[in-house]
Amino acid sequence: MDNTRNTDVLVASLYKFLELQDLVSTKEFLDTLCEKNNVMGTILIANEGINGTIAGNKRDVRSVTESLNKDNRFKGLEIKFSKTPKQPFHRMKVRIKGEIVTIGIPGINPNKIVGEYIEPNNWNKLISDPEVTVIDTRNLYETKIGSFKDSIFPKTKSFREFPKWVKKFKNEVKNKEQKIAMFCTGGIRCEKASSLLKEEGYENVYHLKGGILKYLETVPKEESMWEGECFVFDHRVALDHELGSGSYDMCYACRMPITEEEKLNEFYKKGVSCQYCYDKTSVEKKLRFQSRQYQMDLAKKRGKKHLGSQQKK
């Protein structure tokens, strides 16, 4: 579904688990492709696959995604499109990593074992079944602003903590035939989480194909079971059901999404603290955050000037 206007910046979130061998030459290929098409964002590559988000004008972003789909390695790439009034990134980065989504356990690989993909149009029926356990595999700060009703929250600070939560879950849910439905922002974390639960012996593991973003893109609002907004990892912070920019800002000290009202709180200082983290950081750390915010503000000013010159060109 193409829901962008000519004046919008098009954002493409993409990933695929696949066997990648020559990471250096793959990085060079992606660097050249993205530079040629003037897109910005971040792409991670590892031996297990590719994961990233890019943004630019419609023609350039489509050119990148079409080129990737023509490459036999990336054919069938999972892609979600959304829109934003302005460029959410300041530069383009392609990075080689150990994992494209870090769970921290060697051998957990969706290329080898994975749960059953559920298309967005079939998701409502699955999670409406009272016999199904629904797990939101995202982190605590993401679940704060929206989720599917009656979901279980692991309350992790990072995906690395998810395996520890699974150990607790195994003690509580000993029936390995229990139906488990998992979801995340773009589909990548819940796909890897499904691999972990399959390795732990659970037989009926399902995950939302394309994640929340594909669900919002596919399912009409009047039929949607999604409640709230969806946290995203760029300067938009959150998306509404139409995949436009949401109503939240972010505390860049703790990553917690915050409302305009919460920014009026006495403990809020841009990039330094908010009511959720003020008592959890030392004075020294707050000073480091303050210095970092100063550098970010400088970079943002330079980035805006650079972007403006690119758009004029």
> Is the domain of 128 the same as that of 223?
yes
Q: Quick one: 177 and 205 in the same domain?
A: yes
User: Strand 132-136 and strand 49-56: pairing?
Assistant: unpaired
- What whole-number distance in Å separates Cα of residue 171 and Cα of residue 33? 48
Query: Looking at the 3D structure of the chain, how many domains does it have?
Result: 3
Domain membership flag for residue 2: no
What range defines the domain where residue 20 resides?
9-96
215 and 130 share a domain? yes
Could you tell me if residue 241 is inside a domain?
no
Q: Can you give the CATH number for the domain in which 220 is found?
A: 3.40.250.10
Query: Per the domain annotation, does 201 fall within a domain?
Result: yes
| Residue at 261 is within a domain | yes
Same domain, 135 and 218: yes
Of 168, 194, 228, the last residue of a domain is 228
Catalytic residue from among 184, 190, 230, 277: 184
The 10s digit of each residue's pLDDT in 48-98 is 999 999 999 999 999 999 999 999 999 999 999 998 888 999 899 999 999
Token readout for 187 is 């589909």
CATH code at position 53: 3.30.70.100
The answer on 210 and 261 residing in a single domain is no
C-alpha triplet 97, 102, 105: angle, nearest 5°: 110
The 10s digit of each residue's pLDDT in 131-179 is: 999 999 999 999 999 999 999 999 999 999 999 999 999 999 999 999 9
Q: Do residue 222 and residue 155 come from a single domain?
A: yes
Per-residue pLDDT averaged across 186-200, rounded?
96
Write down the pLDDT at residue 303: 63
Please tell me whether residues 254 and 303 are part of one structural domain. Answer: yes
Question: Is the predicted pLDDT of residue 308 greater than 70, yes or no?
Answer: no
Residue 184: active-site member? yes
Q: Are residues 92 and 120 in the same domain?
A: no
200 inside domain? yes
